[in-house]
Structure 1
Amino acid sequence: MKRSISAEWLKLRHSRIGLVLAVLPVISLLIGCTNYYFNQGALQNSWFSLWTQVSLFYGEFFLPILIAICCSYVCRLEHLNRNWNMILDSPVSVASVFLAKLIVVSILILFAQALFMALYWLAGNLFTLPGPFPVETIGWTIRGWYVSLSISALQLGLSLRIRSFATPIGINLCAVLIGLAMYTAKLGIFFPFSLLTIGMCVLSQNKLTDIQNILFWMVNMAYIIIFASMSIRWLRSDDIVSS
């Protein structure tokens, strides 16, 4: 497993994935801060009002897209020059390959989450918002990263089986829209993309009840296990589309 993870990091050397990880959080912050600046008269809840604006674009759209891009990116070499044939003939198990990619993607998303929090703190200070920095937002960001693991497990399975770089990202965008509908219908706990909305308190900053909090952590863990197991099984039993 350690060698598989090291191999994944080597593939990312001299790549531009770091630029993508930085640009998308910056764009979402700029859009959110612009909204906040022009609506300060109606947004009177200091730090939390700023959070509603910046997290709306980031948590609902940019973060899911970023996850999909990272998953497609770490799988792209496997679809070139019949590299999958070489990997499947090597002594490394399919499970190790998949889990190594999941770990690497999780670290990349963790970096994006940390950058997003730093930018949020910086924006709040530039707006000279009153009151202390809300430490709750750190927990919300961590919960968003936790949900990203289940989404990443699903997206990796798609990206490893589908040669196209863009198709899994398109599927991701459709899932985002379904997630919004599920959240609106009060069924968000049953869909990972809706769990992202709940976890990061994008549309509502109300504190989760004890039962809701337990369900959030347990359901998402179930999704991580299910999606990872399904993806590994797909890779073991089905033909992978490779050039």
Structure 2
Amino acid sequence: MVWKVIQSEWLKIRKSSVWFPVILAPLLTIAIGVMGARHGQLLNRTSSSPWSSYYLIIVVAYSLLLLPLLTGVLASVICRFEHLSGGWKQVLAFPVPRTTIYCVKFLYVLLLVALAQVLMMFGVIGTGLTVLHITSSIPWQLLLRSILGGWLACIPFIALQLWVSMWWKSFGAPFALNVILTIPAVAVAHSSRFGPIYPWAQPMLAMLPSGHQFLNVTTKTTLTIIVSGILLVAVGWFHFQKRDITS
């Protein structure tokens, strides 16, 4: 049953526009990073850590702005098929548990975000080697910890965006809400008190290179991600279970 729902969801998205933002977000980030590195001359040959300097430029723009917006767009697109022409009625008419439908949609958003993270990482490596001509060894541990940490930090954010996207029919409303709540993250992320508990700031905190042993995430941020992730997944799932979807 679960596999059939996974296949059905794949048929919906494989030729849809969902792949465009997945590719565009890393491309924009890499372009910003290359221009910033060249303009600021941060990657000269005397730099002790050119990879870290280059990655720092990229990760701030990507994790603080593009990644939250990307996640919101993906959640909206995944639910858009059911909001069109009474799609929810058709889907829920089949003998498929709502829990399965919710989990499959959550899984696809999670995998698409993971794909964007991987593309971004290999974009950093590719441009660093071929465009910026960085000759020092690639810091695989730093990159992998950052990419994985940012991905895990998106879990509560994905749950929240999926909940909103299942609730609202309009594609623009969840995106507008996402933009409004992304803007304060620029200021909140620098606060040691509010940054770790603000979902829109958590991806940046998790992706910034740091000395923490478990990924790049502090204990406070890790606990916040776990608790908020469980809470938001539970609330979104419960609302989807109980809500009378008539469109």
Do both proteins adopt the same fold according to a TM-score greater than 0.5, normalized to the shorter chain?
Answer: yes
CA contact (8 A) 2:79 2:166 kept: yes
The CA distance in 2 between the partners of 1:41 and 1:100, in whole Å, is: 43
Q: Secondary structure, in 3 states, of the residue corresponding to 1:192?
A: coil
Q: Deviations over 1:64-122 (max 9, x none)?
A: 11111111111011111112122333321222111100101111111111110111001
Partner of 1:215: 220
Partner of 2:8 in structure 1?
A: 7
Q: Displacement of 1:195 after TM fit? A: 1.2
Partner of 2:151: 145
Q: Is the 8 A contact 2:196 2:221 kept in 1?
A: yes
In the alignment, is residue 21 of structure 1 matched against residue 26 of structure 2? no
Percent identical across equivalent pairs?
Answer: 23
Q: What is the alpha-carbon distance in structure 2 between the residues aligned to residue 49 and residue 80 of structure 1?
A: 45
Could you tell me whether the CA contact under 8 Å between 1:72 and 1:168 is conserved in 2? yes
Task: State the AA in 1 paired with 2:31.
Answer: L
Give the distance between the partners of 1:237 and 1:19, measured in 2 at CA: 33
User: Within 5 A, what are the aligned runs for 1:149-164?
Assistant: 149-164=155-170
* Unmatched segments (≥5 aa) in structure 1: none
Correspondences of 1:105-144 after superposition (within 5 Å) = 105-126=109-130, 127-135=132-140, 136-144=142-150
Structure 2 counterpart SS, 1:128: coil
Partner of 1:32: 33
Residue type of the alignment partner of 1:4: V
Stretch of structure 1 that moved more, 100-109 or 34-43: 34-43
- Aligned equivalent of 1:47: 51
Q: Which of 176, 189, 203 does residue 170 from structure 1 map onto?
A: 176
Residues 1:227 and 2:228 aligned together: no
Q: Distance in 1 between matches of 2:161 and 2:35?
A: 31
* Cα deviation digits, residues 113-138 of structure 1 (max 9, x gap): 11101110011112122421112121
Distance 2:198 2:226 in 1: 12
| Matching residue within 93, 103, 119 for 1:89 | 93
Distance 1:79 1:168 in 2: 13
Provide the TM-score with structure 1 as the length reference.
Answer: 0.90
CA contact (8 A) 1:179 1:191 kept: yes
The C-alpha deviation readout for 1:152-182, integer Å capped at 9, x for no partner, is 1110100011001121111111222233332
Q: TM-score, normalised by structure 2?
A: 0.89
Matched to 1:47, the amino acid is W
Displacement of 1:241: 7.2
Q: Is the 8 A contact 2:109 2:158 kept in 1?
A: yes
* Greater mean alpha carbon deviation, residues 30-39 or residues 12-21: 12-21
Query: Which residue does the alignment assign to 1:194?
Result: 201
Residues 41/53 of structure 1: CA separation in 2 closer, same or farther (3 Å cut): closer
Structure with higher helix content: 1
- Count, aligned residues: 239
Cα shift at 1:239: 4.0
